[in-house]
Amino acid sequence: MKIANGKDFWAGVMFVAFGAAFMVIAQNYPMGTAVRMGPAYFPTALGGILVVLGAVVLFRGFVSKISNPLVVFPFRAWLFVGGLVLGAIAYYTQVARDAGMLAQFGHEMLSGLAILALFAAFGERSLWVVLFAVVVFGYILKPLGLVAATVALVFISAWGGNEFKWKEVAILAAVLAAFSVASFVYGLGLPMNIWPSVWE
Amino acid sequence: MEALTALVHNLGIGFGVALTFQNIFYCLMGCLLGTLIGVLPGIGPVATIAMLLPVTFTLNPTSALIMLAGIYYGAQYGGSTTAILVNIPGESSSVVTCLDGYQMARQGRAGPALGIAAIGSFIAGCFATVLIALFAPPLAEVALKFGPAEYFSLMVLGLIAATVLAHGSLIKAIAMVILGLLLGIVGTDVNSGVARFSFGVSELSDGIGFVSVAMGVFGFAEVISNLEQKEKREVFTKKVSNLLPSLQDFKDSWASIARGTLLGSALGILPGGGALLASFAAYTLEKKISWNSANFGKGAIQGVAAPESANNAGAQTSFIPLLTLGIPSNPVMALMIGAMMIQGIAPGPQVMTERPQLFWGMIASMWVGNLMLVVLNLPLIGMWIKLLMAPYRLLYPAILVFCCIGVYSISNSPFDVMQTAVFGVVGYIFVKLECEPAPLILGFILGPLMEENLRRAMLLSRGDPLVFFQRPISLVMLVVAAFLLIITLAPAIRKKREEAFVEA
């Protein structure tokens, strides 16, 4: 059988996968009875419904009159699998709190790489660059301060766009950094470092 | 008579709260910021509210909600401005405004189009405010009698109604609701204390942050898909002078404003309703019955006046189910519930009796907010146009900065930022697979509530699921939900529904 509508097909696959995952994981918790529902009851029921609905959507992908190519968006399976493997390694090699700086740093880099690979598996270049910029912002805000984080976010995300002009981006970064410090830290009093914490 | 005195008394309390210097200021800031962000192409009210939510964290609950409501109206009005001037709907409820508004702009009548949108919205807003003040108290009284079975059925009805109104495939929309419900119950189960689906990650045992979901799916995903397309925008900026519509324009459109207001108010109250349905329905109605229907799509002022009035009326009356039942009828209201919870207020019928200051203050501020929008937008339109002319490559890093600071400040943790990025990918996939995210957000907010009420109802009925059909109110709601599903699936209506969305 030929897949007519790639969008429906993959949407169906996604729903079935989510529904099945929730059902399977829910089996780790007590089910309870209809009178006293345990933590597994509701998610198992919903997961089952989702699998059924997903299967219908998937089936429609074969018989649909609307035709869409099977490749709906760029997907790089090797990055996806690689990211999952790295993520699994990071997950199962949790570093103890009292472990050395180096071990912790290494572990964080490994997690970061896994995330980056998973992001990069989907969509065009702009997707992973923009989201990577966002993650970098989140992780450097506390140690390096709002100014550095904003500048990094603006530069990396601008690099993910279609056009990159150094001067323009530099001005934009400076303006946005000044504005966010003025309005969020001074204006609203959000508790954030402005400069790297070692300076203060 | 008694109802009238109560109304005056209540609105008196409300205006007493809303007209304090502090609250006027927050309302003004809300409208201003909301319009500022809402004007940016491709950013609708949901993303705007999610982005600006953290700004309100430091305020007291009343001021925070007043400001959020202001942000909502501002964002909506900003979206209409973009629709008229650039032909890019910032959000789905201004899709229909594009049709005639943009044509008017091309004919050099952008000014009157913007003016009539503001004035129509203001009139609709005034009417809807009174309507809320009239209808909320009796509805809240009914809601106080609701048991868990009624609440569960009400949520079923609300979610079904929301899927019926989503674009595209009905079955995908229902699947999205279920997925939303599942994501909503991630975290510690209140009854047993089991941390569900948290994979030992301590941040996940508090549940997935709804701001992360909303911002990722509506904000980041939008930016990413915009970046994939090459920019092509045409802004009509040459002659936006003379904002006040002429006397003839008023004569032409007052009836449309009135019809739009009435229709919008009615549709906003329905579960799943709100601004989107209101504007679509008003446009369709106007096209059918207006004497000027031949000119629709070619720059008829009625085609701007009616949906703009309707979407503002609907936007406001959709606060009725939120404030009285604690049930959000659309994603914006879902965000409002989230904001209330963050402020420590449990949404529901008890808000009105326990916190009259907050309740009536917020309602009165709706009127104040609408007035401000008219006053604000007429002189500031030049500034919005300048903003619209800024190329996207400068806008999106700014959008990202505000989103990121917003998400981070929720709990000062990088984890939230990361989580939002993940939902950015998920949202991108949804966009590509034509899965509408709005039902997901509703399900997400209602997940824990639904489970809780289902459990209680089943406990009270000793495990008999028939309880949902034995209690009359519950039965009515389930029947209505089933009816909605059936008529949507009926081939004739299905075709109509698809046409309606395609046309717009």
Summarised one tens digit per residue, pLDDT across range B489-504 is: 776 566 655 555 544 4
SS3 state of residue B31: helix
Residue B361 to residue A65: CA distance in whole angstroms: 53
CB-based contact (8 Å) between A50 and chain B?
yes
DSSP string, B332-378: HHHHHHHHHHHTT---STHHHHH-HHHHHHHHHHHHHHHHHHHHHHH
Would you say the C-alpha torsion B385, B278, B263, B284 has a positive or negative sign?
positive
DSSP classification of residue B299: -
* Token pair recorded at residue A151: 């500048």
Asked if residues B190 and B452 have their Cβ atoms less than 8 Å apart, the reply is yes
Q: Which one, of B27, B35, B24, lies nearest residue B65 by Cα?
A: B27
Read off the pLDDT of residues A75-93 as tens digits, 9 standing for 90 and up. Answer: 888 999 999 999 888 888 7
B234 torsion bin: left (phi>0), alpha (psi -120 to 50), beta (else): beta
Would the pTM count as exceeding 0.95?
A: no
Region B454-473 average pLDDT: 88
Backbone angles phi, psi at B353, to 5 degrees: -80, -35
The pLDDT, as a whole number, for residue B272 is 64
SS3 state of residue B17: helix
Residues 6+ apart with CB under 8 A from B97: B80, B83, B84, B89, B117, B279, B304, B307, B308
Q: What is the share, in percent, of chain B residues with pLDDT greater than 90? A: 7
| Chain B residues close to A190, C-beta within 8 Å | 54, 58, 405, 409
Region B405-417 average pLDDT: 85
- Res. B422: pLDDT tops 80: yes
Residue B218 to residue B225: CA distance in whole angstroms: 11
Residue B213 to residue B187: CA distance in whole angstroms: 15
The pLDDT confidence band at residue A50, using thresholds 50, 70 and 90, is very high
Lowest mean pLDDT among A85-94, B3-12, B120-129, B162-171: B162-171
Residue A169 to residue A156: CA distance in whole angstroms: 10
Read off the pLDDT of residues B142-193 as tens digits, 9 standing for 90 and up. Answer: 888 888 898 899 888 888 887 876 667 888 989 999 999 999 999 888 888 8
Chain A to chain B, count of Cβ pairs less than 8 Å apart? 201
Q: What is the share, in percent, of chain A residues with pLDDT greater than 90? A: 34
ipTM over 0.90: yes
What is the Rg, in whole angstroms, of the alpha carbon atoms belonging to chain A? Answer: 23
- Res. A135: pLDDT tops 70: yes
Q: What is the share, in percent, of chain A residues with pLDDT greater than 70? A: 96
When CB atoms are compared, the residue of A7, A14, A162 closest to B393 is: A162
The pLDDT confidence band at residue B92, using thresholds 50, 70 and 90, is low
- Disruptive mutation site among A157, A165, A185 for chain B (greatest number of B CBs within 10 Å): A157
Region B67-76 average pLDDT: 87
Indicate the length of chain B as a whole number: 504
Residue found under tokens 């050395």: A100
What kind and span of H or E run contains B385? helix B356-389
Higher pLDDT, A18 or A189: A18
Indicate the residue type of A195: W
Residue found under tokens 């998400």: B407
- Give the chain A residue nearest B187 (alpha carbons): A39
* Contact at CB, A11 and B434, closer than 8 angstroms: yes
Residue B397 to residue B404: CA distance in whole angstroms: 10
* Contact at CB, B175 and A50, closer than 8 angstroms: yes
The pLDDT, as a whole number, for residue B503 is 44
Residue B16 to residue B190: CA distance in whole angstroms: 39
* Contact at CB, B400 and A133, closer than 8 angstroms: yes
Higher pLDDT, B463 or B450: B450
Higher pLDDT, A19 or B351: A19
SS3 state of residue A95: coil
- Res. B403: pLDDT tops 60: yes
Q: What is the share, in percent, of chain B residues with pLDDT greater than 70? A: 91
When CB atoms are compared, the residue of A34, A39, A154 closest to B401 is: A154
Residues 6+ apart with CB under 8 A from A43: A22, A23, A26, B182, B185, B196, B197
Lowest mean pLDDT among A167-181, B36-50, B233-247, B463-477: B233-247
When CB atoms are compared, the residue of B178, B192, B224 closest to A123 is: B224
Would you say the C-alpha torsion B223, B498, B264, B484 has a positive or negative sign?
negative
When CB atoms are compared, the residue of A43, A57, A158 closest to B397 is: A158
The pLDDT, as a whole number, for residue B178 is 95
SS3 state of residue B147: coil
Asked if residues B406 and B52 have their Cβ atoms less than 8 Å apart, the reply is yes
- Res. B339: pLDDT tops 90: no
Portion 151-170 of A in contact with B at CB < 8 A: 153-154, 157-158, 160-163, 168-169
- Res. A95: pLDDT tops 70: no
Region B128-144 average pLDDT: 83
DSSP classification of residue B107: T
Residue B254 to residue B248: CA distance in whole angstroms: 10
The pLDDT, as a whole number, for residue A15 is 95
Read off the pLDDT of residues B262-303 as tens digits, 9 standing for 90 and up. Answer: 988 888 877 666 667 778 888 888 887 777 777 777 778 888
Q: What is the mean pLDDT of chain B?
A: 82
